[in-house]
Structures are given as C-alpha cells and as structure tokens.
Amino acid sequence: MEVKARAPGKIILSGEHAVVHGSTAVAASIDLYTYVSLRFPTPSDNDDMLKLQLKDMGLEFSWPISRIAEELPESGSQSSLVPVSCSMESTKSIAALVEEQNIPEAKIGLASGVSAFLWMYSSILRCKPATVIVTSELPMGSGLGSSAAFCVALAAALLACTDSVSLDVNDQGWLLFGEKELELVNKWAFEGEKIIHGKPSGIDNTVSSYGNMISFRSGNLTHMKSNMPLKMLITNTKIGRNTKALVAGVSERTLRHPDAMSYVFSAVDSISKELTLIIQSPTSGDLSVTEKEGKIEELIEMNQGLLQCMGVSHSAIETVLRTTLKYKLASKLTGAGGGGCVLTLLPSCILLILLSCLSCASSSSIVLSGTVVEKVIDELESCGFQCFTAGIGGKGVEICFTVSS
Ligand SMILES: Nc1ncnc2c1ncn2[C@@H]1O[C@H](COP(=O)(O)OP(=O)(O)O)[C@@H](O)[C@H]1O
Ligand SMILES: C[C@@](O)(CCOP(=O)(O)O)CC(=O)O
Ligand SMILES: [Mg+2]
C-alpha cells in the first residue's frame, strides 16, 4: 500500500514576524503543494532501510533502521498521539545521522528539513523500514511556506499509518482528516517547523493544515470567510534566504530596542485586525469592493513599512515595490523576507474575471486585462524576477491511499 499526503503552501497577507512576538497575522493557503508518499517493503524484499528521496533535488538519503534505533533509542517510545519536541540530546544524534549523508554544500539548507524528517519519522513510526518520496510545486526558501507544507504533508502521511488516525484505506481519491486528527497533524508539523525555523509562530503549519484563510494570534486560529475577490500577483525575487536567520535577527533587534519594537508589533496587530474586518465585511454593506481594495492597499503599504523597520526587507524587494508603485499597485513582502516573494494586490478593476462568481475558495484562472498587469509583469521579469498568480484559500492537507492489487 502507498500512502500519499499533500499540503499547500501559503501567503501571509499581514503580520509575518510580528506574529512570532504575539501580534495577529492573516494568512491564506495557495494551490501549490508539497507531496509526501510512503511505501513499505514486504518481508520478502528483505529491506531494512529508511530511505528519503527528495525527487526535485535528485537526492536520496538512506539509513539502516538499526542505526536510527541506536542513535535515537528514546524516540517513538511514546504514543504518536502526544507530539514531542526534539530534545538537545536527540538534536545531536540527528545531526550525526544527517552528517553521514554528506549533503552537497550547495544544498546544505536541506539539512534542517532532513533533520525534521528524521525526528518526525522516528517519533511516529519508530523503526519501520520504508521509502519516503517528496516532491513539491513550491519554491523552497521563498516565503511561501515550503517548510511548513513539507512538515504538514509528512506528519499527515506518517500519522495515516498509525492507529492514531482512523481513515478507511479503501476510500478513493483525496480525503480530508477529521477535526481531532487534523489537530494532531498540525501539532506534529509544528514540532518539525521548530527544527527548521527555531522559533516558529505556528501560522504556516496551521494554514497548511486547515487551508482557507485564517487569522492567527499566540497559537490560536480563527477561520475567516472572505467576502470579496482577492487576487495577488506573486513575484519571486529569487534571492535565497533562510527563515530561521531572519526570525532570529528580528528577535535580536527586539532585545536591543524593546520599546520601539513593541510599538511596531502593536501597529502590525492593528493592521491585521483591520484587514480581517475588511475582508469579511459584506460587500453589500457600507463599503464597495473598490473602497475595500483601496483600504487593503493602504494596509499593505503600512505593513511593508513596518517590515522595513524590523530589518527584513531587501534591495530586490524594494525594486519590486518601486516597480509596482509606478503602476499604482501596492505590494509587500510575504513570509520571512530578506529576498523571497512579494505580493501585489491586483484590484478587481484591472482584472477580467472569468467566472461569474469568484469565491475565496476558488482557484479560477484569470485573464490579465492587457495593459497594466501585463506591463508590470514584463517590467518585473525584465529585472530577472519570476511572476505568477495562484489560487488563494483552497483546501488544507489531504491524504490518499493506493492499495496494490
Ligand atoms: N520538499 C522539501 N524537502 C526537504 N526539505 C524541505 C522541503 N521543503 C522545505 N524544506 C526545508 O525547509 C527549508 C526552507 O524553509 P524556510 O527557510 O522556512 O523557507 P520557506 O518555508 O519560506 O520555503 C529548506 O531549506 C529545507 O530545509
Ligand atoms: C516570518 C514568519 O512569520 C513566517 C515565515 O514564513 P516562511 O518560512 O518565510 O514561509 C515566521 C513564523 O511565523 O513562524
Ligand atoms: Mg518556512
């Protein structure tokens, strides 16, 4: 039997970084996924290895199951119903297991992902030989939550092979988890994100698990229901960066300037709260879609200014901001910044929407109405950036079983 899970990436509409320090943030899933599939050898295969294939990178790692049992004797001794954090001792053991794989220097950023894999696998499935295959549509390390999508898809696939989750393996197609099971997937994914990010807020794994649009504060999520079309242009500056280092940088600045930074975080909190109200308010109410979009554009610009105060912008991000502003379009970085992706709101007046009713949950394609959007994309791409749109607010993590005949 093969178990396959897929988990979406995300965009943060407001509140990245500040959310790590207790402010509200707003995020939505996007229709780009990371897939994790698990296959177990039959006894006749005589295969006692744990293999991890990162298909997009063309890399394969493997460990004899006995090596994992030797290095991590304690992990998996508890029930998979209780997510456990990786201890200092286990961190050292995992570092030894990763080091012996000789990850190429150019791809050393993967070491934290492989470490998260080893912790989650050994804690949930203990010493079971298997081949785990990972593929992803998400650019890695670009602010679209590839780390969280990886951890959520992995947690889902692993837990689906335990008694902690009761799904019917004979059901066809992509299946959703029940509420309690989803909570468990999300908690395990958070343990993986801790290994990759150091101090994650939990927003990325939560929106990847639950999908749609959420507001998130201090570990608590509120499901949002958008009452307006929301289309974003995503521009990948292709400047590589690392969320863990950027989050640590903001924490250091906060230690140096606690008072000033507390005002910055509080301003971000207000922006996110106002954004949630605007997005959810009925369009037939006091505000027209155009008026709502105008307010959102202003909030986007204010949030970007505060992200600059936190020290997480980058000259490439500034180039995107300047370029889109020439066309009167508002932009902000999304995710950890320092490079990565920038969001630009595409107001409905410059879009020709194909479907008569574009709900937040749809990922309908759009025709970009000639002039403005085409020109801005051309100009951004001439700078070497990559532009694309993605469906916003679709489903969260899903699972699929293939029973071999
Ligand atoms: N498909 C994947 N396979 C293995 N590791 C992954 C995968 N996707 C993400 N990761 C891990 O997450 C890291 C990127 O996470 P991060 O810096 O938080 O950026 P983002 O989450 O915005 O893409 C990678 O360097 C790698 O360690
Ligand atoms: C900067 C932060 O708010 C989001 C990071 O997102 P990403 O890893 O850059 O996709 C960190 C967090 O909330 O854990
Ligand atoms: Mg991440």
Domains and CATH numbers, the chain: 2-223+396-402 (3.30.230.10), 230-389 (3.30.70.890)
**Catalytic residue (one of 45, 48, 204, 286):** 204
| Mean pLDDT (whole number) for 143-149 | 98
Alpha carbon distance 203, 224 (integer Å): 14
| Mean pLDDT (whole number) for 35-61 | 94
- Atom of ligand 1 lying closest to residue 193 CA: 18
Helix (H) or strand (E) holding 182: helix 179-197
Other C-beta atoms closer than 10 Å to the C-beta of 105 total 6
Dihedral of the CA atoms 122, 123, 129, 130 (nearest 10)? -100
- Candidate of 10, 11, 12, 268 to mutate for ligand 2, largest count of ligand atoms within 8 Å of Cβ: 12
Ligand 2 neighbour 154 (Cβ under 6 A)? no
Query: pLDDT band at residue 229, thresholds of 50, 70 and 90?
Result: confident
Alpha carbon distance 153, 194 (integer Å): 16
Q: Name the amino acid, one letter, at 97.
A: L
Ligand 1 neighbour 115 (Cβ under 6 A)? no
- Candidate of 29, 194, 203 to mutate for ligand 2, largest count of ligand atoms within 8 Å of Cβ: 203
Query: pLDDT band at residue 335, thresholds of 50, 70 and 90?
Result: very high
Lowest average pLDDT, out of 23-27, 82-86, 221-225, 286-290, goes to 286-290
Q: Which phi and psi angles does 27 have, rounded to 5°?
A: -140, 155
pLDDT at 200 over 70: yes
- Atom of ligand 1 lying closest to residue 145 CA: 21
CB-count exposure of residue 163 (10 Å: 0-12, 13-18, 19+): exposed
Query: What are the distances in angstroms from CA 62 to CA 66, 109, 121, 214?
Result: 12, 18, 13, 37
Ligand 1 neighbour 112 (Cβ under 6 A)? yes
Query: What are the distances in angstroms from CA 116 to CA 165, 177, 405?
Result: 21, 22, 33
Ligand 1 neighbour 197 (Cβ under 6 A)? yes
Centroid of ligand 1 to alpha carbon of 114 (angstroms):
10
Ligand 1 neighbour 200 (Cβ under 6 A)? no
- 56 counts as catalytic: no
pLDDT at 111 over 80: yes
Ligand 2 neighbour 250 (Cβ under 6 A)? no
Report the helix count and the strand count for the chain, using DSSP H and E: 11, 14
Q: Which of 37, 43, 72 is nearest to 55 (CA)?
A: 37
Centroid of ligand 1 to alpha carbon of 168 (angstroms):
31
Query: pLDDT band at residue 123, thresholds of 50, 70 and 90?
Result: very high
Percent above pLDDT 90 for the chain = 83
Ligand 1 neighbour 196 (Cβ under 6 A)? yes
Lowest average pLDDT, out of 37-46, 109-118, 217-226, 235-244, goes to 37-46
Centroid of ligand 3 to alpha carbon of 66 (angstroms):
31
ipTM score of complex: 0.99
Centroid of ligand 2 to alpha carbon of 79 (angstroms):
29
Helix (H) or strand (E) holding 368: strand 366-368
pLDDT at 164 over 90: no
Neighbours of ion ligand 3 (CB under 5 A): 147, 243
| Mean pLDDT (whole number) for 83-102 | 96
Q: Which phi and psi angles does 334 have, rounded to 5°?
A: -135, 140
* Among the bound ligands, the one closest to the CA of 243: 1
Widest CA span in the chain: 69
pLDDT score for 171: 82
- Atom of ligand 1 lying closest to residue 138 CA: 23
Predicted structure pTM score: 0.94
Percent above pLDDT 70 for the chain = 94
